[in-house]
Structure 1
Amino acid sequence: MTHGAKPTGPTVEDLAPWFHNLHLPDGRQTRPDHPFGDFPAWKWAEIAPHLPADLTGARCLDIGCNSGFYSFELARRGATVVGIDINDHFLRQARWAAGHMGLEDRVSFENRAVYDYARLPREHFDIVLFMGVFYHLRYPMLALDTLRRLDPDLMVFQTLTTPDPDVDPRAMDDIGFQEREILDRPGWPRLAFIENALNADPTNWWVPNHAAVVGMLLAAAFRVTARPGAETYLCRPMAIHSGFWQPEEFQGATGLTDEPPGEP
């Protein structure tokens, strides 16, 4: 740049406010004063050891990518990454950051909702990140069923949860009408419905307990294989069979007529 020339393109400040604190190559950070600390770097530190160090040739999907932190980390390991979000402000940040990090050839960012993948031709992703999105969705089981249709090898699932950490031993039982008091016991799978707003955010709709997370994942034919951090679950697909997949209801909700994914 010649002396006195003005920099071109937007700056970090121009693109504020930021939610992800990105560490840029020149040493700047996009939100160094984040109330959660160095977020999401500390969350990535929990997950990273559970993912392959070399993702060359892998296709990854980052749902609710925000400004792209996780997408960039996967791309640095060699993956080709699609990041989706419904917030154009975050997508502008992500595309800007990809250019500054030299990763624009490995990552792409699209304005999509998770439900869009129920209407698109079926794709396969080796790894799906579904983090910080679940409790913002009005149709949570539809989202999980949609992701199972993609048949990922691994899904990293993270959601806000209630403090109830247990799973009632009868959670898988057939409960009779006269036993409904069981549904109020600690450890019974449940979603707390947010009627107005949570943390001043009206898009927060549900807060599940741990038992509900495990149960809903199971109902969508995902099994939890590890918990690398609080409220974070590593999931592998299970075989879809009667009791886990409801093809008629899914087809009615989406208009799809294709067959569910096969054996993992």
Structure 2
Amino acid sequence: MSSSPSAHDPQVEAAKSCPELTRRIIALGDWFHNINLNGVWTAPDHFLGDFPNVKWKDISKAVPEDLKGASVLDIGCNAGFYSIALKKRGAGRVLGVDVDERYLNQARFAAETLGLKIEFQKCSVYDVDQIPGQFDYVLFLGVFYHLRYPLFALDKIIKKVAGRLFFQSMMRGSMEQRTWNGDYEFWDVKPFQDPDFPCMYFIENSYASDYTNWWIPNRGAVEGILRSSGLQILDQPESETYVCEPRRVQRDGKYLLDLELSGTL
């Protein structure tokens, strides 16, 4: 966890040498992504440390070094850290979407400051299926547990995945990985008393002072949800992140979500 920079801290020196850049960063409000903008960091005192680089250092190992020509959709892009990271690896079209205008303004400013051509637009996660086309890489990082209807959103997101989905969620409870029966008798309550059994914790009020933390799954739930959505888990580069490919997301040419909504799943 980072502490306040000292008088001789390089971050302080960089801020002093770039007063206009520092002023504009501050004017855009509190940043949740700590991004290095030409020597000036946007969130040096983040309560999670150098976030999200603490995640990216492991996730990045599952991303090709050369993304030349690849398309990227970053859902819940926040200030654009991941969009910027993939653009720096040579990705072609990079589109970041979020519902928060403050984050989008930060993302646009960060990309402009770094001289990167990235699209950012306001879009709800529940509307991403309306974005034309599919993408080689879809990032769905740090959003799932903030949604009141998380599986509905995931099923919509899957429609946009042409290549790989990078999925990350906060997890709480058991982190054990076990194999479970395909079915249970109606009166068998023992599985629900097992802390390893797949479950999602519902947060009625607030968690970590954030009322948007609605559902927090354990590991069994995350992996079960991904598989039941027709995704194959290929890799787990860090404890909360999964790399997936769509394998059984359609039946008779229709996505599972469309079958569910039509009552034919």
Q: What do residues 158-198 of structure 1 show as CA deviations (whole Å, max 9, x unaligned)?
A: 1110130124432x511120113312212211100000011
1:157-172 correspondence runs (5 A): 157-170=167-180, 172=181
Rounded Cα–Cα distance in structure 2 between residues aligned with 1:226 and 1:9:
39
Rounded Cα–Cα distance in structure 2 between residues aligned with 1:151 and 1:72:
19
What letter matches 2:241 in structure 1?
A: T
Residue equivalent to 2:5: none
Residue equivalent to 2:162: 152
Rounded Cα–Cα distance in structure 2 between residues aligned with 1:36 and 1:8:
24
Q: What do residues 185-212 of structure 1 show as CA deviations (whole Å, max 9, x unaligned)?
A: 1221110000001111111101100000
Is 1:245 matched up with 2:253?
no
Residue equivalent to 2:52: 40
- Worse overlay, 203-212 or 219-228: 219-228
Residue of 212, 236, 245 corresponding to 1:227: 236
Rounded Cα–Cα distance in structure 2 between residues aligned with 1:43 and 1:116:
27
What letter matches 2:127 in structure 1?
A: D
1:65-214 correspondence runs (5 A): 65-79=77-91, 80-103=93-116, 105=117, 107-118=118-129, 120=130, 122-170=132-180, 172-214=181-223
Q: What do residues 53-108 of structure 1 show as CA deviations (whole Å, max 9, x unaligned)?
A: 111111101111110011001111111210011111111111111110000x2x11
Structure-2 change in CA distance of 1:251 and 1:65 (3 Å)? farther
TM (norm. structure 2) is: 0.85
Q: Is the 8 A contact 2:165 2:244 kept in 1?
A: yes
Quote the sequence identity (%): 40
| 1:238 CA displacement | 1.1
Q: Is the 8 A contact 1:167 1:189 kept in 2?
A: no
- Worse overlay, 158-167 or 69-78: 158-167
| 1:121 CA displacement | 5.7
What letter matches 2:29 in structure 1?
A: A
Rounded Cα–Cα distance in structure 1 between residues aligned with 2:192 and 2:162:
32
Structure-2 change in CA distance of 1:179 and 1:122 (3 Å)? farther
Aligned length: 242
Rounded Cα–Cα distance in structure 2 between residues aligned with 1:9 and 1:240:
46
| 1:241 CA displacement | 5.4
Is 1:13 matched up with 2:22?
no
Structure-2 change in CA distance of 1:122 and 1:217 (3 Å)? farther
| 1:251 CA displacement | 4.8
Residue equivalent to 2:64: 52
What letter matches 1:155 in structure 2?
A: L
Q: What do residues 100-144 of structure 1 show as CA deviations (whole Å, max 9, x unaligned)?
A: 0000x2x111111121023x1652110011110000111111111
Rounded Cα–Cα distance in structure 2 between residues aligned with 1:92 and 1:206:
28
Rounded Cα–Cα distance in structure 1 between residues aligned with 2:161 and 2:110:
30
TM (norm. structure 1) is: 0.85
Gapped regions of structure 1 (runs ≥ 5): 1-5, 253-259
SS in 2 for 1:126: strand
Superposed CA RMSD = 2.2
